[in-house]
Amino acid sequence: MADWQSSDIEVHGLLLHYTRTGGSKPPVVLAHGVGDDGLCWTTIAEALVPEYDVVMVDARGHGRSATPEQGGYDAAVQAQDLAGVITGLGLQRPIILGHSMGAITALSLAGTYPDMPRAILLEDPPAVWMPRRGDGQEEMERRAQLRASMASLKRKTRAELIAEQRAVAPHWSDAEIDRWADSKHRFSPDVLQLFDKRIGAGVDWPATLPRITCPTLLITGDPVRGARVTTESAGALQSLVPQLHIAHIADAGHSIRHDQFNNYLLAIRAFLKQLPADSERQ
């Protein structure tokens, strides 16, 4: 990691932080989930660095990126941010791998700027493409619980965060837990605005998703372990994005790459290997 670049780039008046492995190799952009930051991808970046120029971006209000004065964390805005980073760094047709919130960002970006990504890979995104059911009361309660849970992380010491995460995820490496804990102290409390509305609000998903033309991989875990994507919602996304491939990884929850790293890496490598050659490189 000693020769990796750590810097900021101004996008729409906001300074966004990124860590980049560098080299004249095909670019891969990594978009993290809510409450995490770019360095939470370090283990994946280390695995991909021999073949790719990996760019780990801190989303607005996360990590070392700035917090916008006027708020705004919806998927459309974050897609604009990520597109701005890609353009500002001169990345040509990057592969984008996103987890959770970052996967929603990748979906929004690929539907808004269909010529920008070479491919997108989606690790257990919230199923924003599914229609609402009922009166929404259950959804409101779920969002309130998530907000309270995320807020509670800010009140804990680093040692408390590490001890609690090690208890619930003993298979995570010490380095992964350390980076996870550090990220929780770095995200802005303003990020909790994400839970004031339904995740993915502000994007017309039925109109946006069919515009995605690039190869797409959906990586799913087991809902009984906490994964968000179900068989039903995976099928619904495939009906909107017909070129979608699905890689199910058993015995994994929402953080699939941490729960089943080897199988996760095999799945993304298999998908990347079969991508068409792309002559447009950085």
DSSP 167-215: HH-TTS-HHHHHHHHHHHHHS-GGGGGGGGS-TTTTS-HHHHGGG--S-
The predicted structure's pLDDT at residue 2: 64
> Length of the chain, please?
282
Which of 106, 85, 108 minimizes the C-alpha distance to 33? 106
Question: In this predicted model, what pLDDT tens digit does every residue of 165-218 receive, in sequence order?
Answer: 999 999 999 999 999 999 999 999 999 988 888 778 889 999 999 999 999 999
Average pLDDT, the chain: 93
Q: Tell me the DSSP string of 100-127.
A: THHHHHHHHHHHHSTTS-SEEEEES---
For residues 233 and 266, give the distance between their C-alpha atoms in angstroms, rounded to a whole number: 23
| Alpha carbon separation from 86 to 116, 123, 218 (Å, rounded) | 9, 20, 22
Pairing relation of β-strands 14-20 and 5-11? antiparallel
Give per-residue pLDDT as tens, 146-174.
Answer: 889 999 999 999 999 999 999 999 999 99
Beta bridge mates, 53: 27
- Residue ranges per structural domain of the chain: 5-131+202-273
136 conformational bin, left if phi > 0, alpha if psi -120 to 50, beta if neither: left
Task: Read off the pLDDT of residues 63-75 as tens digits, 9 standing for 90 and up.
Answer: 999 999 877 899 9
**CATH code for the domain defined by 5-131+202-273:** 3.40.50.1820
Q: What's the pLDDT band for 41 if we cut at 50, 70, 90?
A: very high
Let me know: does 146 contact 126? Beta carbons within 8 Å. Answer: no
pTM: 0.95
- Which residue from 256, 252, 258 is spatially nearest to 43, judged by alpha carbons? 258
Using the predicted structure, report yes or no on whether residue 282 has a pLDDT greater than 50: no
Please name every residue paired with 93 in a beta bridge, in sequence order, or none if there are none. none
Q: Is the dihedral of CA 130, 133, 136, 139 positive or negative?
A: negative
Specify the pairing of strand 53-57 against strand 216-220. Answer: unpaired
Helix (H) or strand (E) holding 56: strand 53-57
